[in-house]
Amino acid sequence: MENFIFQNPTKLIFGKGSIAKLNAEIPENAVIMMTYGGGSIKKNGVYQQVKEALKNRSLIEFGGIEANPHYETLMQAVTTAQKAGVTYLLAVGGGSVIDGTKFISCAVHYNGKNAWEILTDPAVSKKITPVKLATVLTLPATGSEMNNGAVITRAATNEKLAFHHPLIFPQFSILDPEVCYSLPQRQIANGIADTFAHVLEQYLTYPVNALVQDRFSEGILLTLTEIGVPLLNHHENYDLMSNFMFAATMGLNGIIAMGVPQDWATHMIGHELTAMHGLDHGVTLAIVFPALMEVMRDEKHEKLLQYGERVWGINSGNPELRIDKAIEHTRSFFESLGIKTHLRDYNIGQETINTIVERFTKRCWRLGERQSVSPEKVRDILNKAL
Ligand code: NZQ
Ligand code: ZN
């Protein structure tokens, strides 16, 4: 096992009716800004529950944060927060609202000329003390409710970049599975694919004899294969939704990452597909992951065999055939969620591949657990995904 340091300060408040506990969790003198997305929370009653819980508090609102949150929109929220002297942010929504709020929390105290630097220069964000934030999660998928990462899109340049800051872990996150009953099937499928991919990014690398972490990861993957399709058809089933919600949080809160190598190449490639074509985040991962497994099959040989055996029950036959089967099972799983897994299904071809390879070359990116995914390897992966 590799050396590691682990600290995750986010308090989880899980279960039905938990939004009523909001008031007690936010400091009494806080000037709160509640952030939300395009309006789903007004249709499913979450907005009303939050307003009721915080009815005697100093509270302003900023709505309209879009999926794959735009820097341009978030900067408007920053101005609103600065004018009102906001001291506490409450994100009510999915990963996009939470990520956007993490960016707002940093940008409120940023003194430079171009806040996009927070995304491009880790030295800049390090100097900032973010405004405290908390979340009410409405879409299980990203793990953003219990991690310190955020992914922001700049519409003007079609760029989508991630950043991390040690002080943007939410103070607390409320996870009430019932608020997810209103999710459209497409978003549930995206969330399952995203969670599955998060676990693979931290598990499907090379063995380091991290027995507990491997079995935690396999536990999450098996849970998703068990509940995925049933959840699509019964999304008002509390047991299914609560298991999904917990799986998504555990998939990217640092627990399965302890002491193991990590990949993340699929995510970096996927972010480009979203930035350039607007594809849903989960969809991009379902396209890239099977192709990446194929291209990286030698480097990931041992873990692919372990994954095939423990997650898909493939335990006989020659190793190359077993790996073929593990990849086939992965693709079929994504397809069983209703997600198409080839670039051609979305009319994406060589032009996009060339642009992504150019961008990664310019950024001098070498991805993967061994930094062996060069821009040319990225081309191979995307060609396999065609
Ligand atoms: O905007 P509203 O009206 O709220 O509608 C949203 C949105 O249209 C809707 N929705 C959310 N909860 C709902 C609901 N509709 C009905 N009922 C509910 N309960 O779902 C749509 C998608 O929401 P979004 O927040 O965009 O989805 P998701 O949670 O999948 O977040 C995706 C974003 O997170 C980033 C992605 O790149 C993408 O920008 N990620 C963040 C990560 C992190 N911070 O650690 C890691 C991930 O790998 C990912 O990159
Ligand atoms: Zn993801």
Q: What is the per-residue pLDDT across 13-29, written as a single tens digit (0 to 9) for each?
A: 999 999 999 999 999 99
Give distance in angstroms: CA of 369 to centre of ligand 1. 26
Instruction: Read off the pLDDT of each residue in 185-208 and give the average, rounded to a whole number.
Output: 98
Q: What is the mean pLDDT of residues 292-297?
A: 98
Dihedral, CA of residue 181, residue 182, residue 184 and residue 185, to nearest 10: 10
Does 125 score more than 90 pLDDT? no
- Supply 74's token pair: 């978030």
Residues 299-312 have a mean pLDDT of 98
Average the pLDDT over 95-105 and give the result. 98
To test ligand 1's pocket by mutation, which of 16, 71, 96 has the most ligand atoms within 8 angstroms of CB? 96
Residue of 187, 253, 264, 289 to mutate, ligand 1, most atoms within 8 A of C-beta: 187
CA-derived radius of gyration, the chain: 20
Residues 6+ apart with CB under 8 A from 325: 308, 312, 314, 317
126 pLDDT band, cuts 50/70/90, is confident
The mean of the pLDDT values for the chain is 97
pLDDT at 330: 98
What is the number of the ligand 1 atom nearest to the C-alpha of 191? 30
> How many whole angstroms from 282 Cα to the centroid of ligand 2?
7
pLDDT of 190 above 90? yes
Q: Is 190 a pocket residue for ligand 1 (Cβ < 6 Å)?
A: yes
**Does residue 70's CB lie within 6 angstroms of at least one atom of ligand 1?**
no
Of all ligands present, the nearest one to the C-alpha of 63 is 1
- Among 35, 40, 92, 153, residue to substitute to test ligand 1 (most atoms within 8 Å of Cβ): 40
Nearest ligand, measured from the Cα of 93? 1
pLDDT given at position 280 = 97
pTM, 2 dp: 0.98
**Cα–ligand 2 centroid distance for 281 (angstroms):** 7
Of 13, 3, 6, 2, nearest to 254 by C-alpha is 6
Our CA dihedral for 92, 98, 103, 105, rounded to 10 degrees, sits at: 50
Instruction: Tell me, using a 6 A CB cutoff, whether residue 136 lines ligand 1.
Output: no
Evaluated on CA atoms 52, 56, 61, 65, the torsion sign reads negative
Ligand 1 atom 20: the closest Cα is on which residue? 187
